[in-house]
Amino acid sequence: KWDKNELNIGADATYGEADDVKNAESYGGYIQYNRLFTDRIFGYARFTGLHDGVADIDYRFTVSPGAGYYFIKNEKTNLRGEVGPGYVFEKLGGEEDNYFTIRFAERLDHKFNDWAKLWQSVEFLPKVEDWGQYIVNAEIGIEATISKHLKQRTYLQDTYNSRPAEGREHNDLKLVAAIAYTF
């Protein structure tokens, strides 16, 4: 954060096997820039990318500008909502599909103290031409500080796709324990 600007960048990768069967293989990332117009109102630009071998997603890229509002904004707690148009480029189950979406999102962050934090977020991305086709990304997690730059994070992440690739499940639920490095 600086002046009236906020920049969030994140990346993750997962891989897992059980009884020699791959049950997780994904990597992705995002970048979001917020420009504050007032203390609570902001405009944003967001880009996300994802590959998920188990869900048969070769790629999914989402580009979305929009507007946001901080319903709660203080030193311990932030709750914000975001809405804006978007465009999805994906190759799912071997088939390419590109479509317009509207991004609805909210995020809650709460710091218990300088060492512990809780967060939760939900994002809803319906296809503009067919609201029966949508993606919901949700996450809830806790974080504990280990050192100045290292944090331990444990979180539950769920991606729900109303129309998954052939033979795949709608839900992709992950429980992740990770070490995070912050700059």
Amino acid making up residue 114: D
First vs last Cα of the chain: how many Å apart?
Answer: 12
115 CB-near residues (< 8 Å, 6+ apart): 144, 145
pLDDT in tens, 139-167: 999 999 999 899 999 999 999 999 999 98
User: How far is it, in rounded angstroms, from Cα 67 to Cα 80?
Assistant: 10
User: How far is it, in rounded angstroms, from Cα 109 to Cα 6?
Assistant: 15
For 167, list phi and psi in degrees, rounded to 5.
80, 5
Closest CA to 100 of 112, 90, 114, 115: 90
The residue with greater pLDDT, 100 or 1, is 100
pLDDT in tens, 29-87: 999 999 999 999 999 999 999 999 989 999 999 999 999 999 999 999 999 999 999 99
